[in-house]
Amino acid sequence: MWDFSTDPEFQEKLDWMATFVREECEPLDLLFPHGGDPYDVTNEAARAILRPLQEQVKDQGLWACHLGPELDGPGFGQLKLALMNEIIGRSYWAPTVFGTAAPDTGNAEILAMFGTPEQKDRYLQPLLDGEIVSCFSMTEPQAGADPKEFVCRAWRDGDEWVIDGEKWFSSNARYAAFFIVMVVTDPDAAPYERMSMLVVPAETPGIEIIRNVSVLGERDDLDEGIHGYVRYRDVRVPLDAMLGGPGEGFKVAQARLGGGRVHHAMRTVGVCSRAFDMMLERAQSRRTQGEVLGRKQSVQQTIADTWIELQQFRLLVLQTAWIIDNTPHGTARINIAMCKVAMARLMHDVIQRALHLHGSLGTTLETPLAGWWASVPQLALADGPTEVHQGTVAKELLKRYDAAPGLFPTEHIPTRLTEARRKHEVVLKEFGL
């Protein structure tokens, strides 16, 4: 059965969220606008505003909705989460207010899936309660898109693992209470069995943040960003710091990355919808040559194309969420990759058009548009570059096809015409054809 409706009870929740995000979360975006602000647990002023808002979200039963009941979450499923994330995505702070901020969401998921009872007590619970933030430390300076190139290693020394190497773009390292670090533990094993995950408390001796790398739109200072360039020098953790088994690093990483990508896509619908709202308001307000912009045909084309692309993407995301909810694990792989490729393009096109329609104002820091624009390149890279996901989509599709059985394609008209003639030979003869 196909059904595109939202049940009325849940729609009430969504309506509450829409008002709450606009009135309560967006002011935080204005007061504490820097990339790392939602993660900076030492900012007492921001926390004093944040905590009561998080309590309101909990009272509504909307806290940490990415976790299913098996992981102690409310278990709304991905489809409802998609509808929620469309609203949450409209504000930079909203994911933190709703307990669904990356990378903590993914880290919580893998701790819930693979963690020992002790790891869950120590790391998962305070993470879910929003008391601490965490860091996922996988990418390296010399290798990102292909984890088989990673070299940061760990070896056993008595009853400890010893980590040595560098990681790059470990987001929120400067604020994190713990790091989940992907390390090579068995360099001679098959490529996908070489790595393991270790959970490392931030206070462990030997962790050095070489630089807090800044990205476009975040901060001007080279060392004032949130993406840690981290050196692990002789960092020692007990054997039970491993998350999952030895050699299961890829498996653990994969378990968090799919969800992270599709949640980004859901939130992208939110950001783009907000930019679209701005575009329409501008088209109705700004006058040129005796009429508002919205009366110009080229502006109308831009509005129509943007709405069509936004709705196409939204349906792809909702369908992907539905597939995750209703089919065996792994079935949605191709759809998640499709969302990942499409979201960076959509964001690029929608924000560019909205910014352009705002003229010089669009290029300033006086609307959110320039900030969103600055984040476009990151969207095409974080959680893997576009090309890698295009590869996933294409390879999955290619598996469904075989080579043509003969010299010509199966759609070759002369060959098919001969077959058609043979099939209806008797009738054709009867009519002299």
- Give yes or no for residue 258 binding ligand FAD (CB under 6 A): no
- Give yes or no for residue 324 binding ligand FAD (CB under 6 A): no
Q: Least CB distance from residue 381 to ligand FAD, whole Å?
A: 4
Q: Least CB distance from residue 103 to ligand FAD, whole Å?
A: 5
| Residues in Cβ contact with 21 at an 8 Å cutoff, skipping those fewer than 6 apart | 87, 88, 90, 91, 94, 97
Nearer to ligand FAD, 318 or 339 (CB): 339
Q: Least CB distance from residue 323 to ligand FAD, whole Å?
A: 24
Q: Any idea what DSSP says for residue 100?
A: -
One residue of 139, 214, 268, 392 binding ligand FAD per CB under 6 A:
139
Structure tokens at 176: 């994190």
Q: What is the CB neighbour count within 10 angstroms for residue 176? A: 26
- Give yes or no for residue 371 binding ligand FAD (CB under 6 A): no
CB under 6 A: which stretch of 231-239, 301-309, 385-393, 407-415 binds ligand FAD? 385-393
Q: Any idea what DSSP says for residue 121?
A: I
CA neighbor of 262 nearest in space, from 37, 39, 100: 100
Our CA dihedral for 94, 100, 102, 108, rounded to 10 degrees, sits at 160
Q: Are 253 and 147 in contact (CB under 8 A)?
A: yes
Which positions from 146 through 165 interact with ligand FAD, judged by CB under 6 A? Answer: none
- Alpha carbons 207 and 204: distance in angstroms, whole number: 7
Nearer to ligand FAD, 168 or 276 (CB): 168
CA neighbor of 110 nearest in space, from 95, 124, 129, 131: 124
Instruction: Report the DSSP beta bridge partners of residue 306.
Output: none
- Give yes or no for residue 393 binding ligand FAD (CB under 6 A): no
- Alpha carbons 427 and 433: distance in angstroms, whole number: 9
One residue of 55, 387, 419, 425 binding ligand FAD per CB under 6 A:
387
How many helices (H) does the chain have, and how many strands (E)? 16, 10
Site string for ligand FAD, 108-137 (x = CB under 6 A): ----------------------------xx
One residue of 36, 89, 99, 103 binding ligand FAD per CB under 6 A:
103
CA neighbor of 18 nearest in space, from 70, 48, 60: 60
- Give yes or no for residue 6 binding ligand FAD (CB under 6 A): no
Q: Least CB distance from residue 135 to ligand FAD, whole Å?
A: 7
Which positions from 169 through 208 interact with ligand FAD, judged by CB under 6 A? Answer: 169-171
Q: Least CB distance from residue 298 to ligand FAD, whole Å?
A: 32
CB under 6 A: which stretch of 87-95, 119-127, 166-174, 322-330 binds ligand FAD? 166-174
- Alpha carbons 44 and 99: distance in angstroms, whole number: 18
Which positions from 288 through 307 interact with ligand FAD, judged by CB under 6 A? Answer: none
Q: Which residues bind ligand FAD (CB under 6 A)?
A: 103, 136-139, 144-145, 169-171, 227, 378, 381-385, 387-388, 391
